[in-house]
Amino acid sequence: MITFENIDVVYPNGYKGLSNVNLQINKGEFVAIVGLSGAGKSTLIRTVNGLVPFTSGTLRVGDEVVDPRSKAKLRRLRSRVGMIFQSFNLVTRVSVLNNVLVGRSAETPTWRSLLGWYRAEDKELAFQSLERVGIVDKAYMRASSLSGGQQQRVAIARVLAQDPEVILADEPVASLDPPTAHKVMRDLRRIQQELGITTIVNMHHLDLARSYADRIIGMRAGEVVFDGPVEEATDAVIEEVYQRSLTAEDIVAGDAVPGRAVPGRAVPAAKLQD
């Protein structure tokens, strides 16, 4: 369980990233955070693992209170919280397996990391993670030789190798084409359901958020302005969050919702999954 209590984030340049955020995200929940760019989605997600330190309030991940000033505590926290990124952020010049093994960093003695001499059980875990996202055959290829969708799955495998309680995903499918975006979202959803990992995903595609999440959080100007189950996040509600009417740019369409993108309607009303 993750709890935000009166969390504020003020960046060193004085910009207010988050103001007075109060949230409770339950264990095993799949939460999508929507909002226009600059609304504070990335800031919110990065406060959870301390990549962005919050400036006031109390943040708990599980039983532990997050302390952004203690480096050792942050490292321990980050070993339990995996994160994937819009631009995949793989080390493209090394093998897929070594990218996944970066997820074992927190559990591996530094000298082993430096030599690249990982324990057999860590390697086994890395292979299992690759199998779970279905690209174990690419283990010894350079990450740069993979397609975007495959790279993002390597990133998911790296997170799985951490054996995390929480997965944070910052616009994980924004640089992928619609069919691939759906594949990656399905992977995330499947992993969340199979392993019961709390998953928080930033996204700007409403149809993806509605198709895959349990709950939607809407943000505007650093504040949480909507928080509720997917059913409540109607077009009208989201238009209120965005402060504008919905457009075709708010959906990704693609293979999972064939024929649902009705002309004249920005967002398919029916959900895919039920």
Partner 1 sequence: MSTRKINAGPGSTSRPEHQRPAQNSEAGQPRFAPDALDRRPVRPSRLGYNAGMLVVGILFIAAIYGTGMDVRALLDLPASIIQYGQLMASGVFQIPEETVAGYWSQSFDAMFESVAIAWVGTMVGALFSLPLGFMAARNMSPLPVYVMVRFILSVIRAVPEIIFAIAIMLPLFGFGSGGGGALAGAMALGISSIGTLSKLISEAIEAVDGGPLESSRASGSNHLQLIRWAVLPQVMPEVIAIWLYRFEVNIRASAILGVLGAGGIGSLLSTVFGARDWDRIGIVLVVIILVTMVVDQISAFIRHRVIHGPTVRNGGGEPQEDDDDGAPSPGPVSGSHSDTSVEQDPAPKSARAAAGL
Residue 158 Cβ, how far from partner 1 at the closest point, in Å? 7
- Site for partner 1 contains 120 (CB under 8 A): no
Contact between 79 and 162 (Cβ < 8 Å) = yes
Question: Token pair for residue 248?
Answer: 């075709």
**Under rule CB under 8 A, residue 128 binds partner 1:** no
d(CA 144, CA 230): 37
The residues facing 5 across adjacent strands are 58
The tally of CA atoms less than 13 A away on the side-chain side of residue 81 is: 24
Length of the chain measured in residues: 274
- Within 32-61, which residues bind partner 1 (CB under 8 A)? 49, 51
**Options 12, 110, 120, 259; binder of partner 1; rule CB under 8 A:** 110
The residue within the footprint of partner 1, chosen from 102, 136, 195, 221 (CB under 8 A), is 102
Nearer to partner 1, 56 or 87 (CB): 87
Give the whole-angstrom CA distance, residue 248 versus residue 20: 32
Contact between 78 and partner 1 per CB under 8 A: yes
| Cα 222 from Cα 215, distance rounded (Å) | 19
DSSP letter string, 238-257: HHHHHTS---GGG----TTS
Considering only the stretches 108-116, 124-132, 183-191, 218-226, report the one whose residues sit in contact with partner 1 under the rule CB under 8 A: 108-116
By CB under 8 A, name the one of 76, 119, 190, 244 that touches partner 1.
Answer: 76
Q: Is 152 in the site for partner 1 (CB under 8 A)?
A: no
Residues 126 and 157 sit within 8 Å (Cβ to Cβ): yes
94 touches partner 1 by CB under 8 A: yes
Nearer to partner 1, 101 or 208 (CB): 101
Provide, for the chain, the percentages of residues in helix, strand and coil under a 3-state DSSP scheme, each rounded to the nearest 5.
40, 20, 40
Q: Which amino acid appears at position 153 of this protein?
A: R
The single residue among 26, 65, 91, 234 that binds partner 1, judged by CB under 8 A, is 91
Backbone angles phi, psi at 36, to 5 degrees: -70, 170
- The stretch near partner 1 (CB under 8 A) out of 87-95, 120-128, 225-233, 257-265 is 87-95
Q: Which residue type sits at 110?
A: T
Out of 26, 70, 75, 273, the residue judged to bind partner 1 by CB under 8 A: 75
Q: Does position 69 bind partner 1 by CB under 8 A?
A: no
Q: In the bound complex, what is the minimum distance in angstroms from residue 271's beta carbon to partner 1?
A: 31
119 part of the interface to partner 1, by CB under 8 A: no
Nearest-CA neighbor of 29 among 188, 267, 170, 222? Answer: 188
* Binding residues for partner 1 (CB under 8 A): 49, 51, 75-79, 81-85, 87-91, 93-94, 98, 102-103, 105-106, 108, 110, 113-114, 116, 144, 155, 158-159, 162, 168, 175
